[in-house]
Amino acid sequence: IVVVNTGVNNPAKGLKALAQALSQRGLVRNLQQILTARVPIIKFELIDSGLAFDVAWEVRSGPQGAGVVKQLLAQWPVMKPLVLVLKVFLTQRELNEVYAGGIGSYSLIIMVAAFLQLHTSRRPSDSSAAPAAGGGGSKKRSRGRASGDVACALESNVGLLLLDFFRCVCASLSVFPWFWRSLDAVAFPSVVARQPMVVAVSAVASRSTI
């Protein structure tokens, strides 16, 4: 949540006042004031529903980022289940808090969007490749490719996309080599252009406020 048009241009002052008002009314629990971060926020859970919120003060990029997220979700419907699973994955490992060095929601959405754009299922297959002599070779899964298309249909299997996402991001960062050996045994194809995506997403994440 971003509070705007308050007339109070001091984020720390505004957030302190908001935190005090919420506490006095007994509406929240686990209230945290993170006022020394580059983008100050307060965090809390509503007592009635248990829903967790992060609140920033007069951060104009917040509503703009929400518009970008809506556009990406409309363009890539499969992004929603992928992001939700990844958010749970990060939360379980305490890697979801930006102020603590984790990955925020906006950065994660940009990562998933870049991954989907570069996924191998969207690349046209090589129609010039000759079939193996005798036709006895094993058949490979086309994964949605169509020869001659500029951009083919994206792989529809969310489970495969999730595994390919882990392969793309973590393999490009050279972590969890045992995980990739296990994936290689299943012979799932990985995405292309890994390093450029990670470099671009790192630049976005360094400026992320949500």
Q: What is the tens place of the pLDDT at every residue in 122-144? A: 777 654 444 443 344 334 444 44
pTM score of the predicted model: 0.62
Query: In this predicted model, what pLDDT tens digit does every residue of 80-131 receive, in sequence order?
Result: 999 999 999 998 888 888 877 788 888 899 889 888 888 877 777 654 444 4
Percent of the chain with pLDDT over 90: 23
Q: What is the pLDDT of residue 135?
A: 40
**CA distances to 98, 112, 202, 205 from 208, in Å:** 8, 15, 10, 5
Q: Which amino acid makes up residue 146? A: A
Lookup result for tokens 């990739």: 180
Q: What is the pLDDT of residue 171?
A: 63
- Alpha helix (H) residue ranges in 26-132: 61-75, 79-92, 105-118
Query: In this predicted model, what pLDDT tens digit does every residue of 6-54 receive, in sequence order?
Result: 888 899 999 999 999 999 999 999 999 999 888 899 999 999 998 888 8
Crossing angle of helices 105-118 and 194-206, rounded to 10°: 160
Whether the CB-CB separation of 156 and 78 falls below 8 Å is answered with: yes
Percent of the chain with pLDDT over 70: 68
C-alpha 24/C-alpha 48 separation (Å) is 15
Q: Where residue 173 falls among pLDDT bands split at 50, 70, 90?
A: low
Q: What is the pLDDT of residue 15?
A: 94
E-assigned strand segments in the chain: 2-3, 28-34, 41-46, 52-57
